Structure 1
Amino acid sequence: MPANSLPGKVATAPPRPTKIEPTAPERLAASIGARLEHVDAARPVTGVTLRAQHVQRGDLFAALPGSRAHGADFAHEAIEAGAVAVLTDPAGAERQSLKDVPVLIHDDPRAVLGAAAATVYGNPSQRLKVLGVTGTSGKTTTTYMLEAGLAAAGLTTGLVGGVEMRIAGERITSALTTPEAPDLQALFAVMLEQGVTHVPMEVSSHALALGRVGGTHYAAGAFTNLSQDHLDFHPDMEDYFRTKAKLFDGRADLEIVCTDTPWGERLVKPTTITVSTAHEATWTASDIVVSRSGSQTFYAHGHGRKLPVEILLAGSYNVANALTAIAVLDAIGVDEKAIVAGLAKVQVPGRMERVDLGQDFTAVVDYSHKPAAVALALDAVRARTDGRVIVVLGCGGDRDAAKRPLMGEAAAVRADLTIVTDDNPRSENASDIRAQMLAGVPADRRDTVVEIADRRAAIRHAVAQARTGDVVVVAGKGHETGQEVAGVIHPFSDRDELTAAIREVAK
């Protein structure tokens, strides 16, 4: 089913700018290489959407082909709501409902939708400094670090990511890591109207593959790392990498790449700014010191300078994320004092987030939901405790099933107690998901693993088992506030449940 109609899952209409210069359909068609039919009825376009439910008067309605229906089947609804033109493919253009409205016909309308929206909204990313961050892990943390450094420099920022979107400090709920192309271009235009100058932005592989970031110009593009994830969407890791690499196809003025993995090394060009915690690069780290609380200090070395850095986040991977943020901020001209001051304050919702009620053990919520991320999170807490490591972990349904045994293995070989539970089963049988995770547990670690289907009960069991000096990690959902089961999203927060469990045990 296309994005034009998703029953029960229609996102709230995104913000739009208040001032839009009308665009003639002829100019719009020429800008994206589309054929224009029924031009005699043409009226200027003042907005773009691919959801019939969100159409406003003057809109271009993008009627895209989908797996179970065609967006053109909703064109009548869109035209009644005020759409003045339709962008579609040749098959969609055959619909009778499109015979009396200007139609922009393109063989691949999704591929040009971003460029069309950018034209309608005045190419806003050309007037902003958009800082794109891609990679399997670290996107959210790095964008928060970028935002903090920019704010410390006195700049007005936007933020686009999976946890939230913000415009000049005001939060907007985020349904996707990267909004659909028309919504993103409208968002950029709203940011301009509200005085934003810089926008750190997560760029997912889905966004790159599905054209959601089409029409977006980047002042800088950054790559964190690559590990197994999203193989329900990508056929293999090579395709996953090639999709991520699109951010570095010339659409970014500056390219910053962490080369701690071979995937990053493949992206390096003569002009690439490199980052590494392991070997020679443009930016490196030394003298890393981890406190008992997990905060870290280190020196960042780059361009002959040595910056003293402190971050509140645990894990060697967060040193790499910080270096990446430093490299981006330095490359766009942010003062090093502002960079250091900003990084020292960064806390990221659901990313190695401590829940501290004065208990005698450490409790952490983390979004790690892929094998490498689970391994890194558990290695990070293991390095700073003499006690046991207890982890609560599940896997999401309707996603990459191949990573489930790998996640079970990653947890079991690192934790003293692993509690396998439910994450977001979605449409799948939850017990089947748990069985696939358990299949990855090595034989000699099976007596350290228990299965508790109910996630709330699993968290309570973990807390009940914790002793002085232990670390409890509730992994997988991080900042999320719901659990999806059979198409219904039930309110659920790992942070709230962990807090409640600690209070209950303390009674």
Structure 2
Amino acid sequence: MKLQQILEQVKTQFKVIANNHLLTQTDVKNLAIDSRLIKDGDVFFALKGIKNDGVQYAFSSAKLGANTIIINSQSLLEINHFQQQFPKVIVITSDNNFALLIEFLKIFYQPLPKNIYGITGTNGKTSCVEYIRQILNILNIKSASIGTLGINCDQMVKDQLASSSLTTPDIVALYRNLYTLKKSAIDDVAIEVSSIGLDQKRVAGLKINCAGFTNFSQDHLDYHLNMENYLQCKLKLFSEIVDNSGVAVVNADIDEFNKIKSICDNRKIKIIDYGYKAKLLKLIDINLQDVKFEFNNETFQFKMAINGDFQAYNLLCALGCIIANHNLKANELKKLLENFYHIQVAPGRMQKIVKLANNAEIFIDFAHSPDALKNVLLQAKKIQQKKNNDNFRQSRIIVLFGCGGDRDRKKRPIMGEIACQLADLVIITDDNPRTETPKDIRQEILVGCNQNKVIEIADRFMAINQAVKMLGANDILILAGKGHEKYQIIGDKKIVFDEEQIVKNALK
């Protein structure tokens, strides 16, 4: 597509300050906001951020092959010097080059998938988007999920996609990947939408026709500073992003439900609620892996191959999203639910990695917030109760965890307190300390701990090996905090750290 063709369609004001005569000749190969990813023929948007101004990368972007640089009108670029070095690079200014970027994205990366599901909430986002994808596969509908685990879809398609380490990818990578998925005939894509992603406008301009809200509890206060700011960022998915003709799928059992409902009612957005207090997907009972609910005055049930009441909620959220976009008759819904037992847990989400000959079990889970840790341990207690009913020897719950460095410090003693309340033995170790002193992080967790229940082992590798050695018959070991991650971040280095493999090696 020619640059001139795009500029003729945009409404945001702009001014070409260098090489206006080249507009009709210039082909746009791709768009970029990360100068390190620039390739020949790309248009680089030098966005002005909180800490940095992208204009400082104008020269390096041009060296890498960008044929157009779009800067903010208030940014300072030595235009004469720039033109001397890059006489054929077009330079455009705009008072709002981010708004201009959104228009470019919507024009250049078209068409996009018809059904885009955006899932937010403190916990459960990863599971929900993965369950949506798996349910659609059961229905023989091509689909993909995007989030913390990367992009999950057919491998042949995945090889064409841009990778990201963020829960919600940067906006250009997201649009580009959605465009690629659409070219591969994928019209249903479920996306994790984080509060930080919403605050940083990484889903701006997208037509999300189904928005889900799982739950809300303390996390990310290092970024948002307080719970109200955190919630307001989450609510943007419903007040600003979801399409006017879209559907909101909301957990009716959370305190924030009425606030979300009010926003949706004001925008005339249809709500599918789920949970015990719901009117549409009304939970009746969760008995370990058996779930019963009511929908359209008819009772349905399914069996999970997954552990956790919270996973039943995640499955209902996913089901609500499917119902929102795909009209399922009662007999079709019953047939679908018969296959729910084949739905697999998302990697690192209460994932059982081994069951020993003595009936001890080891799980890994990504739980890194107080509420997530509480939910995992409550589920462990249900498993423990069943073990104690079935066996003579009483089982123990052992939980091993730490907290990430350079992240919300307020949650550390809270997580220590929760762990000691619900587990029989707590092992405090390192998570991803990043640039913080690991010992200081552990001490902040230990403030909330019952010292009669806790052991501190700094090195996570040694802690896991020790925990495995301590397992008795029927015991339950939860390795919490890292889940699917195959690395540990210490300082500014990311080292290989695969907990599942470490456990397997410890058992040899």
TM-score normalised by structure 1 residue count: 0.88
Q: Which amino acid aligns with 1:302?
A: F
Flag the 1:85–1:404 CA change in 2: closer, same or farther, 3 A: same
Distance 2:462 2:283 in 1: 41
Q: Which runs of 5+ in 1 are unaligned?
A: 1-20, 291-295
Counterpart for residue 350 of structure 1: 348
Flag the 1:33–1:449 CA change in 2: closer, same or farther, 3 A: farther
Q: Which amino acid aligns with 1:447?
A: N
Flag the 1:115–1:499 CA change in 2: closer, same or farther, 3 A: farther
Counterpart for residue 135 of structure 2: 149
Counterpart for residue 472 of structure 1: 477
1:413-438 Cα shifts (integer Å, max 9, x gaps):
11110000000011111001101111
Q: Which amino acid aligns with 2:40?
A: R
Q: How does 1:201-350 map to 2 (within 5 A)?
A: 201-252=191-242, 253-268=246-261, 269-270=264-265, 271-290=269-288, 296-333=289-326, 335=328, 336-337=333-334, 339-341=336-338, 343-346=340-343, 347-350=345-348
Flag the 1:362–1:58 CA change in 2: closer, same or farther, 3 A: same
Distance 1:482 1:383 in 2: 30
Among candidates 146, 154, 159, match of residue 168 of structure 1: 154
1:474-499 Cα shifts (integer Å, max 9, x gaps):
00000000001011111001222222
Report if aligned partners of 2:10, 2:103 keep a CA contact under 8 Å in 1: no
| SS of corresponding position for 1:447 | coil
Distance 1:111 1:430 in 2: 42
Counterpart for residue 85 of structure 1: 68
1:175-234 Cα shifts (integer Å, max 9, x gaps):
111111111111111111111111011111121111211121112111111111111111
Flag the 1:395–1:329 CA change in 2: closer, same or farther, 3 A: same
- Per mean C-alpha deviation after superposition, the further-off stretch among 324-333 and 91-100 is 91-100
Report if aligned partners of 1:130, 1:201 keep a CA contact under 8 Å in 2: yes
Matched, 1:450 2:455: yes
| SS of corresponding position for 1:150 | helix
The Cα shift of 1:286 comes to 1.7
1:38-78 Cα shifts (integer Å, max 9, x gaps):
33342343310112222223321011234554221111121
Distance 1:448 1:493 in 2: 27
Counterpart for residue 18 of structure 1: none
Counterpart for residue 379 of structure 2: 380
| SS of corresponding position for 2:300 | strand
Among candidates 28, 31, 34, match of residue 45 of structure 1: 28
| SS of corresponding position for 1:404 | helix
Flag the 1:114–1:403 CA change in 2: closer, same or farther, 3 A: farther
The Cα shift of 1:108 comes to 4.5
Flag the 1:26–1:351 CA change in 2: closer, same or farther, 3 A: closer
Report if aligned partners of 1:316, 1:380 keep a CA contact under 8 Å in 2: yes
| SS of corresponding position for 2:130 | helix
Distance 1:477 1:183 in 2: 25
Counterpart for residue 10 of structure 2: 30
Flag the 1:412–1:333 CA change in 2: closer, same or farther, 3 A: same
Distance 2:193 2:335 in 1: 25
Distance 2:326 2:179 in 1: 23
Distance 1:491 1:380 in 2: 29
Among candidates 113, 121, 124, match of residue 101 of structure 2: 113
Distance 1:163 1:338 in 2: 29
How many corresponding residue pairs? 473
Report if aligned partners of 1:56, 1:83 keep a CA contact under 8 Å in 2: yes
Report if aligned partners of 1:275, 1:281 keep a CA contact under 8 Å in 2: yes
Superposition RMSD on alpha carbons, in Å?
2.2
| SS of corresponding position for 1:285 | strand
1:278-322 Cα shifts (integer Å, max 9, x gaps):
3133211223221xxxxx111232223332222222222111111
- Per mean C-alpha deviation after superposition, the further-off stretch among 407-416 and 94-103 is 94-103
Counterpart for residue 403 of structure 2: 395
Distance 2:139 2:122 in 1: 28
| SS of corresponding position for 2:406 | coil
Q: Which amino acid aligns with 2:276?
A: A
Distance 2:108 2:347 in 1: 35
Report if aligned partners of 1:132, 1:218 keep a CA contact under 8 Å in 2: yes
Report if aligned partners of 1:159, 1:199 keep a CA contact under 8 Å in 2: yes
| SS of corresponding position for 1:356 | strand
Q: Which amino acid aligns with 1:343?
A: F
The Cα shift of 1:91 comes to 3.3
1:256-295 Cα shifts (integer Å, max 9, x gaps):
11122112331013444243433133211223221xxxxx
Distance 2:99 2:310 in 1: 34
The Cα shift of 1:328 comes to 0.9
Q: Which runs of 5+ in 2 are unaligned?
A: 389-394
The Cα shift of 1:103 comes to 3.5
| SS of corresponding position for 2:474 | coil
Flag the 1:411–1:156 CA change in 2: closer, same or farther, 3 A: same
Matched, 1:433 2:441: yes
Q: Which amino acid aligns with 1:362?
A: E
The Cα shift of 1:169 comes to 4.7
Counterpart for residue 423 of structure 1: 431
